[in-house]
């Protein structure tokens, strides 16, 4: 895609049952009919790779190590090469492509990323706490010290953690004007910081310098500039001024959970099926028993997206208003009549978000077949 002019990726916003996407995907060795399912699967694979260790563009936020914002990422705060700048540019294009296609990306990024992307300033307390709770607590300790004896005890405690193996006859431990970056590199907080001990007179300067370091890392303007450049090649950046950080996140990545009532309200029944049919009621009853993780796997199985839009134009429009893809979900009978229903498996056409559902006889059978589908056929590519 690096050789494709960005103007060719600027397709109209997706709507209706046959949307136009920025490009078509063909998987080698796979027989895929239609374009939607493979396109969604490609975006899912790209996001999975972005959040893996194979690339260094995204970094798990330090808070996730202590189970706060677990699984949330930030842009890696370090100098970038030309190749990494190009990848960040593509990440921005990917965000724009997803917005035009209305395919929520399964990316889990901290609010600080979205704030910086839309040009909103960071909150020195809230955003630091969300990204790095340990550093936040560390800074707060220095800011709340009341006298020199408390400072001396705190510095001794901190320094001793790094000098535990040294001789007790060595010099008295103390803190210096250095700190670890989010990538684990020790840096000086000011000129000759390694030679400046933290004292009562400069403790507030020390705490402010650490906070400033972290906020610069979260802003990460070099990386964000590359992402914005890529995004701006797909959608006008002026639109960002009309969106809050949360609105931008929802527009790009949707919600990481499934609203079953919304999905049910955006489902069509085909070839004579009705919502009151016994096996349809069993189907919805089974989904109501699913965890959110299982529901996301079901959506991935059914339409090759882990997340689906949380709103649709038909909510406020008339009966002829086009749905946003992949809505509506469709439930149809299975192909053919081979064998008793309980011996058959659920099939899907991912491009059409269509479930081909046999008339299972019990809730237990429905649960078994659905769980079999989502756990053992997560990548059907049958649509």
Which domains occur in the chain, in start order? 6-121+219-253 (3.90.1750.10), 130-214 (no CATH), 260-376 (3.30.2410.10)
> Is 144 in a helix, a strand, or coil?
coil
Q: Is 351 a catalytic residue?
A: yes
pTM confidence score: 0.82
Active-site pick, 61, 296, 312, 351: 351
The answer to whether residues 325 and 14 touch, using CB atoms and an 8 Å cutoff, is yes
User: Per residue in 123-149, pLDDT tens?
Assistant: 999 999 999 999 999 999 999 998 888
- Residue 230: closest CA among 368, 87, 130: 87
Q: What is the pLDDT of residue 373?
A: 92
User: Per residue in 238-277, pLDDT tens?
Assistant: 988 899 999 999 989 988 889 999 999 889 999 889 999 9
HEC assignment per residue over 301-369: HHHCCCCCCCCCHHHCCCCCCCCCCCCCEEEECCCCCCCCHHHCCCEEEHHHCEEECCCCCCHHHHHHH
Rounded CA-CA distance 18/316 in Å is 21
Average pLDDT, the chain: 86
Q: N- to C-terminal Cα distance for the chain?
A: 24
Alpha-carbon torsion 47, 53, 58, 62, what sign?
positive
The answer to whether residues 313 and 321 touch, using CB atoms and an 8 Å cutoff, is yes
Mean pLDDT of 1-7: 80
pLDDT at 377 over 60: no
Token pair recorded at residue 216: 């610069």
- Residue 87: closest CA among 98, 100, 76: 76
Residues in the chain: 383
């Amino acid at each position: 895609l690096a050789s494709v002019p960005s103007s060719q990726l600027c397709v109209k916003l997706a709507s209706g049952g046959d949307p136009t996407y920025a490009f078509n995907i063909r998987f080698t060795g796979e027989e895929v009919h239609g374009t939607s399912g493979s396109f969604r699967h490609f975006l899912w694979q790209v996001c999975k790779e972005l959040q893996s260790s194979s690339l260094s563009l995204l970094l798990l936020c330090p808070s996730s190590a202590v189970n706060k914002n677990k699984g949330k990422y930030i842009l890696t705060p370090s100098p970038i090469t030309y190749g990494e700048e190009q990848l960040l540019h593509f990440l921005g294009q990917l965000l724009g492509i997803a917005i035009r296609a209305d395919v929520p990306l399964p990316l889990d990024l901290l609010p600080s990323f979205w704030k910086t992307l839309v040009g909103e300033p960071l909150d020195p307390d809230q955003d630091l706490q969300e990204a790095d709770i340990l550093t936040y607590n560390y800074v707060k300790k220095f800011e709340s010290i009341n006298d020199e004896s408390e400072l001396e005890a705190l510095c001794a405690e901190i320094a001793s953690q790094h000098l535990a193996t040294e001789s007790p006859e060595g010099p008295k431990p103390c803190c210096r004007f250095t700190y670890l970056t989010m990538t684990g590199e020790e840096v000086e907080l000011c000129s000759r910081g390694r030679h400046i001990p933290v004292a009562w007179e400069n403790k507030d300067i020390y705490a402010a310098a650490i906070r400033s370091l972290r906020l610069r890392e979260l802003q990460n303007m070099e990386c964000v500039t590359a992402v914005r450049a890529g995004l701006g090649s797909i959608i006008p950046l002026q639109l960002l001024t009309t969106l809050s950080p949360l609105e931008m996140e929802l527009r790009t990545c949707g919600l990481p959970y499934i609203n079953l009532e919304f999905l049910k309200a955006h489902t069509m029944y085909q070839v004579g099926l009705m919502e009151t049919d016994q096996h349809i009621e069993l189907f919805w009853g089974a989904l109501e028993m699913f965890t959110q993780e299982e529901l996301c796997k079901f959506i991935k199985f059914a339409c090759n997206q882990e997340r689906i839009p949380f709103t649709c134009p038909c909510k406020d429009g008339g009966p002829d208003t086009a749905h946003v893809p992949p809505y509506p979900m469709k439930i149809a009978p299975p192909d053919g009549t081979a064998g008793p229903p309980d011996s058959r498996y659920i099939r899907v056409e991912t491009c059409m978000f269509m479930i081909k559902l046999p008339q299972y006889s019990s809730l237990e059978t429905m649960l078994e077949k659905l769980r079999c589908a989502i756990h053992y056929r997560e990548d059907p590519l049958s649509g």
